[in-house]
Amino acid sequence: MSIERVDTLVVGAGQAGVAMSEHLGNAGVSHLVLERSRVAEAWRTHRWDSLVANGPAWHDRFPGMEFDADPDAFVSKQGVAEYLESYAKMINAPIRTGVEVSSVTRLEGRPGFRVETSKGPIEACNVVAATGPFQTAVIPDVIPTKSALRQIHSSQYRNSYDLPAGGVLVIGAGSSGVQIADELNRAGRNVFLSVGPHDRPPRAYRGRDFVWWLGVLGLWNMETPAPGTEHVTIAVSGARGGQTIDFRDLAAQGITLLGRSSAFSDGQLHFAHDLRRNIEGGDENHLNLLRAADAYVVANGLDLPEEPQAHHLGALPVCVTDPILSLDLAKAGITTVIWATGFGVDYSWMKLDCFDAAGRPIHQRGVGKEPGIFFLGLPWQSRRGSSFIWGVWHDAKHVADQITTQAKYMDYHAKAHAAVTKPAETHA
C-alpha cells in the first residue's frame, strides 16, 4: 500500500493549527492539518457553557478577519469556534477532521518522519505540534479520590445544574477559577475560593480595555515572565460585559476566600497562611498597571478621562484579615471540589528526543531541538501573548519562515547533489 507524503504535517486544528495553515499556504508549502475531532473542538466542548473570550473582539482575532460582533464585545465560546471554522474555510485550509495521530518517529537513513494515524501512515518532512497549551488537566494529589466529594477539573465543569446539591470549593483563582466561583455564587451555591498568587489587571481603565494598555506599554511583548512569577495566574473576565476582578467584591457577594490548599487529613483541608499576601500582591499588580497607564497618558499627551477612584481599594474583608486555615469540608456542606489548577502537556505520541525531563518541548520560539520538529501555541512561546488567538498567529508566521528557510537549504543540497552525479556528456 502506498504511503501518503506531504512536506509539512500539522497536528491540531485549533487556533494554532489554523494560523499555521494560513502561513504555510501563503509560503506555498505543501501541508496537511490533522484534527482528531472538529475544528476548534476545545472551544466547543472543553469549556463551561457560559464562557466568553477574555479579550474584546477587536483584539482577540486573526488579522485577516473580524468577528461578526461588536468590536468591544466578549465573544461566546461557540462564537470563537465558529470564527475559527469560518477562517479555516476562508483560507481553504487542508484540514482532515476525525483523524487521530498516535505516533511520530524519525525515518531511518533519510530525512523526515513517519506519522501513524487512525487513517493510516503519512510521511512528512516536517511536523508541527499545534496541540495548544491545554492538553492534560492537572489535579494535585491532595484530597483522596476515594472520598465522598465529587472532584472535577475546571475543564470538566459545564454549569451549576450538573453539580450535586451542596457547597462548592473552587481551588485556583485565575481567570477560570474566579469566573466559575462567581457563576456558582450567583446560582445560589455556597462557594469557597482558594486564592494563590495572581495578577489582576483592571478590565478597563480611562476608557481603554486592559489589552490595549498592555499593548501600548509593550507588556504583551515580554519574552519571559518576571523572576518569581512563573506560576502566577491572571484573574480577568469578560463575563457580563467585562468587569474588573476584585476579590473584595467576591467576598462581599458571599464567597469565602481561602489561602492556597496545602494538605488534607481527617476530612479537613488545610490552607497556607498566605491569603492576605496573595490578595495584596494582586492589588499591587493592579495599581502598578494604573500608574504605568497614567504615566503613558502624560508622556504622550493623550486625552483620556481621569479615573482616580480606580486607585482606591476598599478594606480587606474579614475572611482575608482573619483567614480560615483549616476547613472540615463535610461540616461546611461542601460536596464538590473544582480544581482550576491549569494544564500539563502530553507529547507521549512524539517518539523523539526533543523534550526535557518533565516532558516539555525543548525549543527556540517553536523550533524544536529535533530538526524538522516544530511547536505552536505554547505559553510564552516567544512572548506573553503567544497563547492568545492573535499571538499564536504571529508565532505561526515565524515557524513558517523557519520551515521555508530550511527548505531552501535542502533544495540547494538536492541541486548540488544532482549536478555532481549528472553523467558527463559524450562528444562524437
382-400 confidence digits (pLDDT tens): 999 998 999 999 999 999 9
CA dihedral sign, ordered 69, 60, 88, 349: negative
Instruction: Return the pLDDT at 373.
Output: 98
Angle between helices 77-90 and 15-26 (to 10 degrees): 20
pLDDT digits (tens, 9 = 90+) for 2-32: 899 999 999 999 999 999 999 999 999 999 9
**Statement: residue 229 has pLDDT above 80:** no
425: DSSP letter: P
Give the pTM.
0.93
User: For the segment 296-339, what is each residue's pLDDT rounded down to a tens digit?
Assistant: 999 999 999 999 999 999 999 999 999 999 999 999 999 999 99
- Write the secondary structure of 198-265 as one string of H (helix), E (strand) and C (coil): EECCCCEECCEEHHHHHHHCCHHHCCCCCCCCCCCEECCCCHHHCCCCCHHHHHHCCCEEECCEEEEE
Can you tell me whether residue 125 is helix, strand or coil?
strand
How far are the Cα atoms of 308, 326, 348, 425 from residue 428, in angstroms, in the given order? 94, 99, 62, 10
At residue 226, does pLDDT exceed 80? no
When the pLDDT of each residue in the chain is averaged and rounded to a whole number, the result is 94
Over the stretch 69-118, which tens digit does the pLDDT of each residue have? 999 999 999 999 999 999 999 999 999 999 999 999 999 999 999 999 99
Domains of the chain, CATH where assigned: 4-135+345-419 (3.50.50.60), 137-339 (3.50.50.60)
Q: According to the model, what pLDDT value does residue 303 have?
A: 98
pLDDT digits (tens, 9 = 90+) for 255-272: 999 999 999 999 999 999
Mean pLDDT of 199-211: 97
Measure the CA–CA gap between 314 and 255, rounded to whole angstroms. 16
Supply the pLDDT for residue 428. 46
